[in-house]
Chain A
Amino acid sequence: MRESIIMKIHYGTALGAVALVAVHILMRMSQKFSDSLQYQNVIANYHFLPYALMLEVLLILLSVHGFNGLRVILLELKQGSTYEKMINYGSLAAMAILIAYGSRTILMAGMGVS
């Protein structure tokens, strides 16, 4: 993929994530912060389908943005065909692992598996 397209994805994921992080924080501020972290409240958040879907989208946006940012930093430090391939595939793998792990939590908590 061309770097110009990757940077558009980077900026797009950033803007999307800013909006969704704002909603995520507002959900914590809808009541006393410590109360919002109580087990029953957090489980209720996961059981609320629109919010669970928003968390999934946020997870994907932040993982893509975060690991692409790390990829850019690492490619600025050093260049070379093998190194670049390693960084590109490594970032994709890390992205996929983090999304899979986070999705597992959203799915299990949402379905009441614990």
Chain B
Amino acid sequence: MAERLSNREGIKGMANPTRYGIERVAYWLQRLTGLGLLAYLIGHIYETSTIVNGKIAWDKMLEFTQTPQGHIFLTLVIGMCVFHTVNGVRVMLGHGGIGVGKPGQPEYPYKAASLNYKQRLCIWVSIALAALAMMYGASVLFGD
């Protein structure tokens, strides 16, 4: 019992992004981008609510958000949104049994069939698409 407890890492073991390869990194990015997008949604709903206070309040809010810092923040939101969407579709398909391989007899070194090259490729594609979308978003925002 004492040995089991001493080996128990708890949340630190679960949170370690370096241990289980790109799949664990994708797991964390999906959650972090989700939380970031939820925070943005709340902020965006608050920000747009200033429209009901008239033109002066709206223009004041635009002065605050339409700045280089605001554009950088929006570029990050675009990246988070694209990664969360594409990786989310991968997770959704995986839950439906698509792209996770066939079940088989477990053999040493017990590599999970679900963590195959298709899944890894999808994660890298998600990251690449997010980067491309950020570049395009930045060109639109800063090109204005």
Contact = CB atoms under 8 A, between A and B. Distances in A.
Interface of A: 7, 11, 14, 18, 21, 29, 32-34, 37, 39, 42-43, 46, 59, 62-63, 66-67, 69-70, 73, 77, 98, 101-102, 104-105, 108-109, 113-114
A34 B53 CA distance: 20
A108 B38 contact: no
Given A18-B85, A34-B66, A39-B59, A101 B49 contact: yes
Contacts, number: 66
A63 B46 CA distance: 14
A96 B37 CA distance: 18
A57 B2 CA distance: 54
Interface of B: 11, 31, 34-35, 37-38, 41-42, 45-46, 48-49, 51-55, 58-59, 62, 66, 81, 85, 88, 92, 95, 140-141, 144
A63 B45 CA distance: 11
Given A34-B66, A102-B45, A108 B35 contact: no
